[in-house]
Structure 1
Amino acid sequence: MALTRFERFLGRLLRAVMWMLFAAFKLFAPQPRHAGVSRLPPITNPLLLLSAMQLARKIRRKEVTSVEVVQAYIDRIQEVNPLINAMVKDRFSSALQEAAQVDKLIEEETGGEDVLEDRLPLLGVPITVKEAFALQGMPNSTGLLTRRDLVSGVDAPSVALLKRAGAIPLGVTNCSELCMWLESHNHLYGITNNPYDLDRIAGGSSGGEGSILGAGSSVIGIGSDIGGSIRIPCFFNGIFGHKPSVGIVSNDGQYPPASGQQMGFLCTGPMCRYAEDLIPMLNIMGGPSTHKLSLSADVDLKKMRFFSVPHNGGSPLVSPVDAQLLQAQRMVVKHLEADLGIKVQELIIPQFKYSFQIWGTMMSLPGKDGKPPTTFAELMSEGGKKVWPTWELFKWFLGFSSHTLAAIGLALVELFQSSHPSPFIVQQKDSLQQELEELLGTDGVLLYPSHPHIAPKHHHPIFTPFNFSYTGEHNPIEEIKANRHRLKATTLQL
């Protein structure tokens, strides 16, 4: 659908205003520190180049000890974390003790490797956890200064299941303040850097996980996603992640909890350095709900139907997709067609143009109980005085606010948000759901960008705040799959 002349003018005007604001913002914004170093030291330990499944196999077979693996990752974290600021609290001493217990268990096991694999598939493998999740003995502040002294007494269910499978947590990783922004930055832990370019963001809200995995300092991790918080960091850091269908992995034990209609979109999911670890992790994290996904079923890719959607149709609120990303998607299409002998159909879906409006509407609606969602300002007030967004913005300009500009901005936006959804946007959302359900069915795969740009420079998302909607708009798709169990259909975001 072609843009109108007014929409093109609005887009140009918005970008001009944003860049003028950016010039002023540079005077006030905190800058990441990496001592002038432009890139990370290379990985030298071969253990860091193996997947979690390969490491678990080697540990079970006594080809390497869990202590050696855990120590290798500790060494790498100590080497690169001063540059990327991804891990915010470690438990290295406890992890080494647990690894020694694993090695002792393997020495004493008489049932053989198969018994260990069945009972403890991740035995001895290190893992990292987003700080928003409860990990016993670790902070659970979600970057909020008023929660800085909070220490978890128990594990979140997803964490407990992975530990029960034998994984050994190394520590917790950074996130955006209250998990609602695509740059992992808060006034408690600071800014997380991208391991491939320290001047760029690692994404959010699970950016600490994305960065530490991308740096080769972790092999598997836990993230959460309500509008792209797993998918965006995976895209920016060159790793793998999955936002499962709603209701598969428990969301309990993370802060902030979802409320209102948001409960239908928040998902906990796996993040990993190697693709082969995705299914085993999801199989463990899903616990008793895993059977809904048929993860062990064989899938013949030649019998799947593939669709390519290169962009959202040209929303004036969202940046155009970079030419290099369009070219990358064309290369994926070319590879699929050559390798599988299939034809990938290219589509433009007009409703994607309203993706931000759809996401914003759904996030502000009350839940099934009729209760409205908790406001962002209320979350910012956790454990302290009530937050007034306009006063907080004034304090920020003077350098006295305990909150990031992104968090303050989100609270300000809520002040102008209508409690009555636009009938037009609701119509677009319903139309989009119906079209995608009919298009994908049970055997469809949609290729779609994760973001219109590669990882932006630090703080740039403040001036392109709607670009996250490339992942935000796919929450309605997840709702379809969860409610109707059409679990083969999926969106592959590139």
Structure 2
Amino acid sequence: MTREVGLSTRVFTDMSASELATAIRHRRASAVEVVEAHIATLRRVNPALNALVADRFDAARAAATAADARVAAAAPDEPLPPLLGVPCTIKESVAVAGLPNTAGVVARAGVPAATSAPVAQRLIDAGAIVLGVTNTSELCLWVETENRLYGRTRNPYDPSRTAGGSSGGEGAVVGSGASPFGLGSDIGGSIRIPSFCCGVFGHKPSRGLSPATGSWPPCDDGNRPLFAHGPLARRAEDLMPLLRVIAGPDGVDPIAGVAALGDPADVSLRDLPVLLIDESWPLVASDDMLWARERAAGALAAAGARVRRRRMPALRRAVDAYLTTLARSSGIGARDFLFAAGAGEVGLSALLRRGGPHTVATRLLLVAERAQARVPRRLAEQLIRAGETIAVELREAIGDGVLLEPPLATAAPRHGRTVGRPWWLAHVVPFNLAGLPVTQTPLGLDRDGLPLGVQVVAGHGRDHVSIAVALELERVFGGWTPPKTRYLADLGEPAELSRI
């Protein structure tokens, strides 16, 4: 392949997926070079991060060679798949044919996916090259990525900090520069929290935009409205193209439908309503997190947006409402999933013992399930109605504008600090209840070198609006800041990467 040189000094592991796809399509770079650059970075950082839990490097290299051959044989005006030759990673709980699909459950060790989830297959059909699958919290049911099958994933900015969860492996891989984008899932912050902790962009789509089919544990009709598959990316410009690839019905998920996706380029920030909610949350955000949100609001005001504030006292019940809705809407609980996986019946005495195949977070969850089952029906119904009220109030308050809200109360917590403390979910779960699109947007680093960020929430079906705001905030604040932490630097530099 003839390749032009000198077009850019940025290495491949700094570029967006869109830039990489363009460079490959126009023969300014080869897919083989791009894939090898990311494999080299993965090999360097993964021993420290423990984020990639199964790779397919040989198959990826073969796919890259085939992509280059396809480009070479293409006529000048021949359309090519939009992601042809671009590498990516996918959350291990999202089925990728032939790769593990366990969600970190020891009893499912070695269980491969027979077929790929529709959202994963759509990426592959669009030309993306899957490098491997990434770690999750056990059963994908907590905000820290740790399980007894693969271990704990560490934050690329500080190994003593969580990478978030449950898509923490994706957050760490993308945040370290080892993958231009990844695919995660979000039923209670599982895309946004790891994206925030690891300093990258993440998008939870509007309810029904992407099919839930193909994840394990599977969704049922009760909890499916809370769930979404969505992208994580180091550059905001990739979010909308990736969303267009994975969106749409699959004939299985009953709430996934055809949606007319807007264009972020058509969004004007002038007079855009921007809402800030104050003094309404059960866990108050730190000064650093509120400062980051204020800076974001100021940047949007400078672009002509209209910033306003209000209180929403109902949000104080959001966590209880969410947990009750999640527990009571589903016909199957965590204990049932574990039993079906072959873990056996999990008795109370086993839950209280140290060690064993389940994390502390999972054991506490199983105890909480028992307690939740004893909540009087009348109280449970009141909490579910409270969640519905919160959802309606949020939708009406946001309207045609956006809401800015910290994803967590602090920067990435130290490992274990969130376990048994469901109030850490306070700033993310209201938007699962409302089914609204949310774009987590990085806003630089704090004084300790940890990522700051803000959730940008838009009205249902207005994913392009939250993404347009993320693009503006990236322009102002720089977006993803590659980690320069000593513990990654001490691993040594990767092999020399090709430049374009």
Whole-angstrom CA distance in 1 between matches of 2:262 and 2:409: 32
- Give the superposition deviation at 1:297: 7.0
Distance 2:135 2:259 in 1: 32
Match of 1:337?
Answer: 301
Deviation at 1:294, TM superposition (A): 2.7
Instruction: Verify: 1:350 aligned to 2:308, yes or no.
Output: no
Taking the TM superposition and a 5 Å limit, the aligned residue runs for 1:3-402 are 46-112=11-77, 115-116=79-80, 120-287=81-248, 289=257, 291-295=259-263, 298-310=266-278, 313-315=280-282, 318=283, 320-338=284-302, 340-366=303-329, 372-395=330-353, 397=354, 399=355, 401-402=356-357
Q: 1:387 & 1:419 partners in 2: Cα distance?
A: 25
Mapped pair 1:411 → 2:380: no
Deviation at 1:453, TM superposition (A): 1.1
Partner SS, residue 292 of structure 1: coil
1:4 maps to none
Which position in structure 2 is the counterpart of 1:25?
none
AA matched with 1:466: W
Residue 355 of structure 1 aligns to a residue whose secondary structure is helix
AA partner of residue 325 (structure 1) = M
Letter in 1 for 2:44: E
* Contact 1:389 1:411 survives alignment (8 Å): no
**Preserved contact between residue 286 and residue 409 of structure 2 (Cα < 8 Å):** yes
CA contact (8 A) 1:389 1:408 kept: no
Q: Secondary structure at the match of 2:435?
A: helix
Contact conserved, 1:364 with 1:419, CA < 8 A, in 2?
A: no
Tell me which residue corresponds to 1:24.
Answer: none
Which amino acid is 1:402 matched to?
Answer: P
Q: Is contact 2:210–2:248 with CA below 8 Å preserved after alignment?
A: yes
How far the C-alpha of 1:479 sits from its partner, in A, is 6.5
The CA deviation at 1:480 is 10
Distance in structure 1 (CA, Å) of the matches to 2:195 and 2:267: 24
Secondary structure of 2:160's counterpart equals strand
SS in 2 for 1:270: strand
Other-structure match for 1:38: none
TM-score by length of 2: 0.82
**Distance (whole Å) between structure 2 residues aligned to residue 129 and residue 294 of structure 1:** 25
Kindly state the Cα deviation for residue 486 of structure 1 after the two structures are TM-superposed: 4.3
Q: Distance in 2 between matches of 1:166 and 1:385?
A: 37
Indicate conservation of the 8 Å contact 2:212/2:227, yes or no: yes
Matched residue type, 1:411: L
Map of 1:14 onto structure 2:
none
Contact 1:177 1:404 in 2 (8 A): yes
Check conservation: 1:206, 1:229, Cα contact below 8 A: yes
1:376-396 CA distances to partner (integer Å, 9 max, x unpaired)? 11112233253324222233x
CA offsets per residue over residues 227-256 of structure 1, 9 Å max, x none?
000010111111111111122111111100
Asked whether the 8 Å contact 1:261–1:364 carries over to 2, the reply is: no
- The percentage of counterpart residues that share the same residue type is 36
Note closer, same or farther for the CA distance 1:419–1:95 as it changes in structure 2 (3 Å cut): farther
Separation (CA, whole Å) in 1 of partners of 2:313 and 2:103: 36
Q: Cα RMSD between the aligned structures?
A: 2.2
What's the secondary structure of 2:365's corresponding residue? helix
Where 1:200 maps in the other structure, the secondary structure is: strand
* Corresponding position: 1:470 with 2:424: no
| Deviation per residue, 1:330-386 (Å, 9 max, x gap) | 111111112x233300222111111111101211234xxxxx521111112233253
Normalization by structure 1: what TM-score? 0.83
1:141/1:427 CA distance change after superposition, 3 Å:
closer
Residue 416 of structure 2 is aligned to residue 459 of structure 1:
yes
Q: Distance in 1 between matches of 2:189 and 2:205?
A: 12
Give the unaligned 5+ runs of structure 2: 1-8, 250-256, 439-458, 474-500
The alpha carbon displacement at 1:476 in A equals 2.1
Most deviating of 229-238 and 467-476:
467-476
Moved more, 413-422 or 140-149: 413-422
Q: Could you tell me which runs of 5 or more consecutive residues in structure 1 were left unpaired when the two chains were aligned.
A: 1-43, 367-371
Give the number of the structure whose residues are more often helix, by fraction. 1
- Does the CA contact (< 8 Å) of 1:156 and 1:252 recur in 2? yes
Cα distance per residue 1:406-462 (max 9 Å; x no partner): 011101001111262525434433332332232222x12111111101101111111
Corresponding residue pairs, total: 430
| d(CA) in 1 for partners of 2:419, 2:16 | 35
The answer on whether the counterparts of 1:260 and 1:374 sit within 8 Å (CA) in structure 2 is no
Which structure exhibits the higher relative contact order, with contacts defined as CA atoms closer than 8 Å and separated by 6 or more residues?
2
Pair 325,297 (structure 1): closer, same or farther in 2 beyond 3 Å = closer
Structure 1 position 290, deviation (Å) = 5.7
What do the CA deviations read for 1:240-286 (whole angstroms, capped 9, x no partner)?
11111122111111100122521111111111111000000000001
CA distance in structure 2 between the partners assigned to 1:102 and 1:362 by the alignment: 46
Amino acid at match of 2:408: H
- Contact 2:437–2:462 (CA under 8 A) maintained in structure 1: no
Say if 1:241 and 1:385 are closer, same or farther in 2 by CA, change over 3 A.
closer
Q: Structure 1 CA distance, aligned partners of 2:210 and 2:152?
A: 28
Structure 1 residues 292 and 421: alpha-carbon distance in aligned structure 2, compared to 1, 3 A threshold? farther
One-letter amino acid of the structure 2 residue matched with residue 294 of structure 1: G
Does the Cα contact within 8 Å between 2:205 and 2:437 map onto a contact in 1?
Answer: no
Match of 2:406 among 449, 455, 462: 449
